[in-house]
Each structure stands twice: as structure tokens, then as C-alpha cells.
Amino acid sequence: MKRKHLVTIVVVVFLSWNAIMYYTLVNRTSGKLGSGMDVKVKLSELQEVIQSQLQENDYILKNLQKLKDQAEKSKEVVAQITADSNPIHGEIGNLSKANLQRTQGDIDGVVIPILMIACDRTEVSRSLDQVLKYRPDPKHFPVIVSQDCGHKETAQTIKKYVENYKIQHIQQPDLSDLKLPWPQKKFMGYYKIARHYKWALNQVFHTFNYSAVIIVEDDLDISPDFYEYFAATFRILNSDPSLWCVSAWNDNGKKGNVKEEPELLHRTDFFPGLGWMLKRELWLELGPKWPETFWDDWMRHPDQRKGRSCIRPEICRTSTFGKQGVSKGLFYEKHLKFIQLNEKSVPFTKMDLSYLKKDVYDPVFTKKIYELPDVTVDDVVSRSKFNLPEVRITYQTKDEFSNIAKRLGIMDDLKAGVPRAAYRGVVSFMFNGQRVHVAPPVSWKEYDPTWN
């Protein structure tokens, strides 16, 4: 409406100005050309005035056209947002296709370091090579490698990057074994990891005084748009108190389980980890009560999560090559090595991701899910309802969910009642080319933490 008023004002000014100039020119030619000797001079002056006026008219017309074009473009963007926000038209993530231009810098001037957790894996060079290869700006994304274990060969590998790329190498000073009772000694590695995480994050937030951090580990590959993803989602994390992290990981991100739309992003109630971002405020909350072991499962407990969610991608922005580690390759052969890593760059910082904010996301998400046809797992496996592009399978109990998940090849475990990748109890994925949403009843209110 304001733009329309502006165009009207410009048109009125344009017409008024031309009327005034016409009156002035007529008076000049009729009243002041008294002698024949002055005619050439006066005509020359008149020609200059007319040329100047024509140039100004041309400038005004070009600006009018520019304003008109901008108004038309704004109408198109609004129409696109309206269409994409309708759940009938597709995934909630399609709102990002509005592709709105931003005037801010990639992360609005905020410095977000990459904290790489390392131990005794000399293949840390593989991860570091990618972190440095795809890094758009060393100033906004400094790299810190925090090493535990005291492994000399790994330290020497990291030192080369310190010398050549000016990264920081910090080393956990406490390498001692913890005094654990016999049943827990087999988990010594997990205790040391939790201790290392606490020390490293204290360094980032208390010693180096950063306001946010992206954590990766020394056995992760990253996608070409890894930084673009985190730079754009930082804005949402920073503005929505219902979010407490952004993760590069989809627990059900195996090829065949994901939709081939790399721009698609989701909210999730399950803490994913494996390449994730948190803010200083969260560490000030969690750091003082950090657990002695199994820190990731601890974060998934209601006492820590407090109803908050994370942002996750449809297609992972990290994948792991760490078959050997503290977990002894648990889940690697059956699951982790099949995770699909995104290969197509998405310009997230030039998109409007505000649809991920809870007050926008939840009504659209809920309406979409519970308007879908409700089918059985047998319908999906047999493809008897394959004519439907998207379907919903309802579960009532923990066992029902686990049975459905096993039959459809997604992760079937729950942590504190939350299925992996779930949001409001709903787990969404692809199965044989069909979009499937395994969902609780529409009356669902909250997770049951006894479902483990």
C-alpha cells in the first residue's frame, strides 16, 4: 500500500513539474525575445532547458518503472509464500523456496568457531581438509581442534594445520583414568568423552568467550553447504527460544529414506548431535551440571530438553567414516555407513527460514499430518495405497511404534520416550518412493519418558 502511494505521488510531481516548465517556457519565449539580436541566444538557452528537462523526465520514468517492477516482484513473493504455507501444496519445508534475498551478512557479523573433538585418529586430516576446503571465511569461522588421549601421531598431524592454516590446537590436560566401579569400567571411554566435551566447551565459551559454536568430531565428512546451512539456521536459533540446537544430522537419513529435496528442513524433539550448534546461553545452563558419561543421552532427558527442539535437515550435512571408536563400530555396518551425505549446495542464507519458528511451524505441521489418509503398515509394505503421495500410520503404544519402524527400516529405539527424528511424536521418511508419517493419535499431548 505504501509503495502504491509513493508511485501516485511521483506521478503527480512529474505532471506538475511539466506544467510549470511549460508555463515558464511559454512566458520566456513570448515576453523576453524583444530584439532580433537576442533570438539566437534565447533559443540556445531554451534548447538547454528542454534537454535538461528531457533528461530529468527520463530519470523519473525509469524510477517509476523500477518501482512498478519491485511492486510486482513483492506480489509474486507474497503469493509464493501463501501457496507454500498451505500444507496441501507439499512439505512444510517448501516455504524455503520463496528464496528471499537477505541484506545481512551470512551470520550477521557473529563469529562461530568450528570445534573439532579429536583423540587418537590420524585421519583427523580427512575431516580438517573438508572443514577448510568448504570454509567461506576464516574470520567468521575459526577452527579449534581439541585433542584428548595425548596421541603423538595425531598431535603431529594437527600441528601441520596449525602451521599452514593458523587453526588452534588445544589439548585436554587431564588424561588420567577415572576411578570407576567394576561394572562401569567397560564404559571408561564414554566417561572420558564426557569429560573432554566439558573441558573443550568451557574453553570455547569461558576462555575464548565465543557466543556460539559448531561441534564436529574427527571422523565426520561434511557437505559443501555445511557452513551455509549453519549460518542461515543460526538466525532462527537466535530468535526462537523454543529451539536449543541446530544439527546437521538426520537419524533416518539413509538413502531411500530421504526425499531428494536438499532444501527441506525440519524441527525435531530428538537431540541428533553429529555436527551441531549451540549458543553460549545454553552452555551456561548445562555446563555446571554436565554428566560424567553418556552426555548425548543425558541431553535427551526431559530435565535438560525442557520441551525444546532442534532444527535438522532432510538430507544429512554430515556423515561418519569412523567405523572404529569407543562404540566399537556399533550400528556402523547396519546403519551409519548408509547415511546419505548431501552433495548439492543450497543457498540457505538467501532463503526465508522463518517457517521453522514454532508459532509458524506447529499449526501448519499438525494440520498437514492429521489431514493425511490414515493407512496400515501392511498397506505401505504391500504398496496397495501407492497412489497416495503421502500417508499417515498411527501408533498407540511403544511396541506398536517399534514394530512399525522395524518393518519400514527406520530407527526403532526411543530415548526418554522420543523416537529418533520425531517432532510432536511424528517420524517422517520415505519408503519405496512414498512419503510416510508414523504418528501418534491426534489427541497426543506429550512424550512418555518411560518409553525407552
Q: Answer whether residue 92 is part of any domain.
A: no
Q: Answer whether residue 220 is part of any domain.
A: yes
Same domain for 49 and 187?
Answer: no
Q: Answer whether residue 364 is part of any domain.
A: no
CA angle 193, 195, 197 (to 5 degrees): 70
296 is catalytic: yes
Same domain for 348 and 376?
Answer: no
Same domain for 155 and 257?
Answer: yes
Kindly name the residue from 296, 362, 379, 412 that is annotated as catalytic: 296
Phi, psi angle pair for 118, to nearest 5°: -130, 160
Using alpha carbons, select from 407, 401, 369, 375 the residue that is nearest to residue 388. Answer: 375
Is residue 322's pLDDT more than 50?
A: yes
Same domain for 197 and 230?
Answer: yes
Looking up residue 391, the CATH number of its domain turns out to be: 3.10.180.20
Q: Answer whether residue 102 is part of any domain.
A: no
Same domain for 202 and 293?
Answer: yes
Distances from the Cα of 211 to the Cα of 132, 284, 356, 375, angstroms = 21, 11, 22, 46
User: How many domains are there within the chain?
Assistant: 3
Same domain for 423 and 308?
Answer: no
Span of 42-46, 122-126, 160-164 with lowest mean pLDDT = 42-46
Contact status, residue 102 vs residue 349, Cβ threshold 8 Å: yes
The grid coordinates of residue 409 equal 527400516
Provide the pLDDT for residue 98.
35
Q: Answer whether residue 100 is part of any domain.
A: no
State the CB neighbour count (10 A cutoff) for residue 186.
9
Looking up residue 332, the CATH number of its domain turns out to be: 3.90.550.10
Same domain for 24 and 74?
Answer: yes
d(CA 156, CA 428): 44
d(CA 109, CA 140): 7
The position carrying cell 581438509 is 129
Which residues does residue 215 pair with via DSSP β-bridges, in sequence order? 115, 276
Question: pLDDT for 181-226, tens place per residue?
Answer: 999 999 999 999 999 999 999 999 999 999 999 999 999 999 999 9
Question: pLDDT for 130-188, tens place per residue?
Answer: 999 999 999 999 999 999 999 999 999 999 999 999 999 999 999 999 999 999 999 99
Provide the pLDDT for residue 87.
37
Average pLDDT over residues 321-347: 82
Q: Answer whether residue 413 is part of any domain.
A: yes
**Domain with 401 in it:** 372-439
Question: pLDDT for 397-441, tens place per residue?
Answer: 999 999 999 999 999 999 999 999 999 999 999 999 999 999 999
Same domain for 58 and 177?
Answer: no
What average pLDDT does the chain have? 84
Is residue 300's pLDDT more than 90?
A: yes
Same domain for 349 and 384?
Answer: no
pLDDT band at 325 (very low <50, low <70, confident <90, very high): low
Provide the pLDDT for residue 18.
55
Q: Answer whether residue 330 is part of any domain.
A: yes
d(CA 103, CA 352): 12
User: Is the pTM for the entire model greater than 0.85?
Assistant: no
Same domain for 136 and 284?
Answer: yes
Same domain for 376 and 427?
Answer: yes
d(CA 36, CA 261): 79
Using alpha carbons, select from 231, 241, 284 the residue that is nearest to residue 110. Answer: 231
Same domain for 120 and 194?
Answer: yes
Provide the pLDDT for residue 57.
54
Q: Answer whether residue 448 is part of any domain.
A: no
- What is the percent of the chain with per-residue pLDDT over 90, rounded to a whole number? 72
Is residue 35's pLDDT more than 70?
A: no
Question: pLDDT for 58-98, tens place per residue?
Answer: 544 544 554 455 445 444 433 443 344 333 234 544 433 33
